[in-house]
Structure 1
Amino acid sequence: MADGLQAYCRECSAEYYRQRQEAKGRKVRERVSVPAGHKRCPQCCEVKPHSEWERNKSTSDGWASKCRVCRAQRDELIAAQGGVCCVCLSAPATDVDHCHKTGRVRGVLCFNCNSGLGLLRDDPEAMYRAADYLEGNAWKPTLVAPGVYQLPS
């Protein structure tokens, strides 16, 4: 608006956003109230007191992104796989990878490999096509007549 304020209050804007996202078929996380001196861990979904968190000056609230217990579990996974990403085998493992359908943890990957899997929507067929593409075997339809394409078998 011209005065720099929103047209709706924060709660109404949040509800409108939720409705738009659900109409698109996207899941919107339920907002959890957190008492003062506590923080919610996105990994275990528990609200814990600040005594259960490490300090981190680079974050907006001054606390780590995950609680001590979840960070320790991640560190155990990293140590179990030698500290290296399971996919590229060269970068340090930093991000816990999980199946978006089941929630099962698969391992720890580097940021790039974890992002790549997510961008390909954890679809093995898309990953096989990407590997074929990198090897020079791109899947391309062949033009056999104007407007008529033959798909590869």
Structure 2
Amino acid sequence: MPDGLQAYCRECSAEYYRQRQEAKGKKVRERVSVPPGHKRCPQCSEVRPHSEWERNKTSSDGWASYCRECRAARNRASYLKRRYGLTEAERDAMVAAQRGLCVICLKAPAVHVDHCHETGRVRGVLCFNCNSAIGKLGDDPDAVRRAAAYLEGTPWKPTLVAPGVCRLPS
């Protein structure tokens, strides 16, 4: 209106909006009363105290859109999809196919997705130590073989065959 006021009160205007949206066939969530110092998470639908939320200066109320637990779950799922093209269900199926264990050491639980750095293809799910060992060896099968030969005690140093010609152990 010209005087800066609305024709209807906030509650009546909200009810009218709700009726219009439902007439269009859209789902409108019910308004939930939230006590002061709390916020409702749209994903888990729980009302939680502000201590269970991250701060966000850009939002209207100064708090994140989702509670810490839901936000962490969404970030994990988003990272898997963005980085490896996997859903959490696909990753869990891979872990189940490996019986929950790392396929290299067969001791630790498999929690880290391993992939080829050249092609980006996902190879499997490994424990942290095995995944980082492969990465530190540069995804080089020859380096892994030399490391295995070293651990088994076989000669690992190159032998001089002729001047300027060395033979690497096989």
**Residue of structure 1 in register with 2:137 after alignment:** 120
Displacement of 1:98 in angstroms is 0.5
Higher-Rg structure is 2
> Which runs of 5 or more structure 2 residues have no equivalent in the other structure?
1-57, 60-64, 82-86
Percent identity between the two aligned chains: 53
Normalising by structure 2, what TM-score? Answer: 0.47
**Residue of structure 1 in register with 2:104 after alignment:** 87
Aligned equivalents of 1:73, 1:54: Cα separation in 2: 24
| Count of paired positions | 98
C-alpha change, 1:131 and 1:83, in structure 2 (3 Å) is same
Aligned equivalents of 1:94, 1:124: Cα separation in 2: 22
Matched, 1:66 2:66: no
Tell me the SS of whatever aligns to 2:113. Answer: strand
User: Runs of 4 or more off by more than 6 Å in structure 1?
Assistant: none
Tell me the SS of whatever aligns to 1:139. Answer: coil
Q: Which amino acid aligns with 2:166?
A: L
Aligned equivalents of 1:141, 1:81: Cα separation in 2: 37
Q: Which amino acid aligns with 1:63?
A: A
Displacement of 1:73 in angstroms is 2.3
C-alpha change, 1:94 and 1:133, in structure 2 (3 Å) is same
Displacement of 1:86 in angstroms is 0.7
Aligned equivalents of 1:54, 1:151: Cα separation in 2: 58
Tell me the SS of whatever aligns to 2:72. Answer: coil
1:140 touches 1:151 (CA, 8 Å); kept in 2? no
Instruction: Decide which structure has greater helix share.
Output: 2
Match of 2:157 among 109, 130, 140: 140
Normalising by structure 1, what TM-score? Answer: 0.52
Displacement of 1:150 in angstroms is 7.0
**Residue of structure 2 in register with 1:55 after alignment:** 69
Q: CA RMSD in A?
A: 3.3
1:93 touches 1:109 (CA, 8 Å); kept in 2? yes
